[in-house]
Amino acid sequence: MSSAPTASRPALYEATRRSLQSEPKELSPVWLYDERGSDLYEEVSRLPAYYLPRREAEILRTRSASVAEHTKARTLVELGSGSATNTRFLLDALDSAGTLERFVPLDVSERMLRTGAQRIEAAYPSVSVDPIVGDFERDLGELPGEGPRLIAFLGSTLGNLYPEQRAELLSTLARELGENDALLMGIDLVKDVARLRAAYNDDAGVTEAFVRNALVAVNRELDATFDQARFAYVPRWDTANEWMDIDLSALEAHSVAVGRLELELSFEKGERLRVEISSKFRRERFEPELDRARLRRESWWADPAGDFAVVLARRGNP
C-alpha cells in the first residue's frame, strides 16, 4: 500500500492552524475520517434519512454499463474512496467490458483502504488493486495508471469543498486528464430543506457522533483540549450559499488549547466551530463551473426523484 507524501501531515497541520484562526473558526473535514470516523460514516450512510448513497447507487446501477462503453477505461482511480461500495457498479461494468486492468483508490483512512482493497482484490482477481493513503486536495500529484483512465469522485464529496476550493480541484483534474481520460462525479442536488435537515440530524445521533469525532481526533493528534460538553451540535441550512453548515456551537465562553500548534483559542457563548459544509447543486450553476475549469460535460444522469446526479466529464478545450 502506498502512503501519502511525508509533507501531507505538516500541510494538514498548517491548514488546521489557519482554519482555526479564521472567521468562523473551522476544522478541515479530513479530521472526520480517522478510523472511528470512517466506521461512523459507514453507519451514517445506512440511515433511512441519509438518501445520498442510495440515490447515487440507483444511477450507477443503471448507467455504469454506459460509462464503461464510453470510457473503455483501463485504470479506475477513485478519490476519497472509503469502502468503495458504490464503486462496485463501475468495477462490475468495466470488468464485464474487458477493459479494466487497475483500480487505484485514494483515501485518508489507511484501515478503510486496506479493508476495501482486500475485498476488491478477492472479488476481481484479474484487476491490480493499488491503494494510496492520501488527501485528494493535497496528494494528487500525477494521477497514476495507464489510459484511458476513469477518475471517480463519488458520494457528493465535491460538495464538502468551498466554491474556490472546488474550482481549484476541478481545474487540477482537468489538467491531469489525458485526451482519452474521463471524470465521473456524484453530486447532491438542491431539494426540500426539511429533507436536507433530516439527512444531517438523525434521531439516533449517529451523524452527531460522526461530527463530534473530529474533536476526538484533533485532541488526540494535536494535543488539543476541546471539551464535548461545551459544544452543541447545530447543523443548519445556509440559504444564500445553498449548503448545509455542519457546526458545533459553544454553550459557554471558554478557551481551548491546541498544544501541537501552540494555539490558544477563545470561544464566546454561541460562537460556532464549523466542521463541514455540504453544498447542494443545480445543473444550471454546476455546468458553468465545469466550463471555467476547462472540463466538458459529456453526460448528466439524475435519479427519478431528482435528488442526486452523476456527471461524466472530459477535458475541454484549452
pLDDT (average), residues 196-210:
95
pLDDT of residue 139: 58
- Do residues 105 and 132 make contact, with C-beta atoms less than 8 angstroms apart? yes
Is residue 3 pLDDT above 60, yes or no? no
For residue 146, what is the DSSP state? Answer: P
Could you tell me the three cell numbers for 298? 459529456
| Distance between CA atoms of residues 173 and 175, nearest Å | 5
The pLDDT, as a whole number, for residue 151 is 94
Residue 108 confidence class, pLDDT cut points 50, 70, 90: confident
Q: Quick one: average pLDDT of 301-315?
A: 96
Residue 173 CA to residue 187 CA, distance in Å, equals 16
Q: What is the pLDDT of residues 13-42, one digit of tens each?
A: 998 999 999 999 999 888 998 889 988 998
Q: Name the average pLDDT for the chain.
A: 91
Report residue 9's pLDDT band, with 50, 70 and 90 as the boundaries.
Answer: confident
Task: Assign residue 199 a region (left: φ > 0; alpha: ψ between -120 and 50; beta: otherwise).
Answer: alpha
pLDDT for the residue 5: 37
pLDDT (0 to 100) of residue 163: 96
Residue 233's beta-bridge partner residues? 248
Of 229, 230, 220, 227, residue with least CA distance to 259: 220
Question: Contact 275/248 with Cβ under 8 angstroms?
Answer: yes
137, 6 Cβ separation under 8 angstroms: no
Measured distance CA(171)–CA(144) in Å, rounded: 17
Residue 112: what pLDDT? 77
Instruction: Taking residues 183-202, report their average pLDDT.
Output: 96
Quick check: 114 and 105 in contact, CB under 8 A? no
User: How does residue 208 score in pLDDT terms, banded at 50, 70 and 90?
Assistant: very high
176 vs 6, higher pLDDT? 176
Q: Average of pLDDT values for 39-64?
A: 94
pLDDT at 82: 67
Q: pLDDT-based confidence at 307, cuts 50/70/90?
A: very high
Domains and CATH numbers, the chain: 8-48+193-279 (no CATH), 52-191+281-315 (3.40.50.150)
- Exposure string over 120-149, b if 16+ CB within 10 A, otherwise e: beeebeebebbbbbbbbbbbbeebebeebb
**pTM (2 d.p.):** 0.90
Determine the Cα–Cα distance for residues 91 and 75; give it in Å rounded to an integer.
10
